[in-house]
Amino acid sequence: MYTQDRLDYLKASQAEGCTRCSLSKGRNCLVFGSGDPNAAIVVIGEAPGEEENRTGEPFSGPAGELLNGFLRRVGLKRADIYVLNLVKCRPSGNRDPTEAEIESCAPFLHTQLALIRPRVILAIGGVAGRYLTNNSDTAVGYLRKKDWLYENKVTGVMAPLVVTYHPSYVLRNKDNPSTAKTAAKHIVADLGKVLRLVAM
């Protein structure tokens, strides 16, 4: 419980009252993160959506339900991992967070990772993938094929980093079954890669 206590303190003492960027103005619920505070795997998305802003739970909408299904296919449950986003407040209209908004929220992200100290990190979607690999304007299809390392010299956290497609990409392509099926297959494969890295 020690890690959870420290995460709760970070949330209550700093994150819940945060006004570092304009996203705080549209915040109904802070979407801080959830799951096992001692998880070997941390999953990082880009930003809360409408449902997350209502519930305060990351990946609680349709994309979250799809993510849960992918996790089950490789033998994982949401309770086995920790899930969070780059930014903790919803960008209006579900747009991508800006670089400035991500940087404003980054101290929370890096502190969460320092507290949890995961063995492997999974970045979901292009925004999270590009930020965490420090690659701008690079497609997920490229990022997911490479071996990456998250390293923060300030906190001392170092962990293999895997990039995969966002479940919402599968949902957006429901009228293009071939694209949706391929993306889903890649997500499951990337989760399998994460499990292999954890076992190493």
**Per-residue model confidence as pLDDT tens digits over 25-69:** 989 999 999 999 999 999 999 999 999 999 999 999 899 999 999
Q: Are 86 and 105 in contact (CB under 8 A)?
A: yes
Query: Which tens digit of pLDDT belongs to each residue from 62-87?
Result: 999 999 999 999 999 999 999 999 99
Distance between CA atoms of residues 50 and 150, nearest Å: 29
Rounded to the nearest 10 degrees, what angle do helices 177-199 and 62-73 cross at?
50
Residue 151 is which amino acid? E
Range of the domain at 77: 2-199
The pLDDT value recorded for residue 61 is 87
Residue 1: pLDDT band (50, 70, 90) is low
The pLDDT value recorded for residue 137 is 80
The pLDDT value recorded for residue 76 is 96
The pLDDT value recorded for residue 51 is 92
Domain count, the chain: 1
User: What CATH number did the domain enclosing 147 receive?
Assistant: 3.40.470.10
pTM metric for this prediction: 0.95
Percent of the chain whose predicted confidence (pLDDT) is above 90: 94
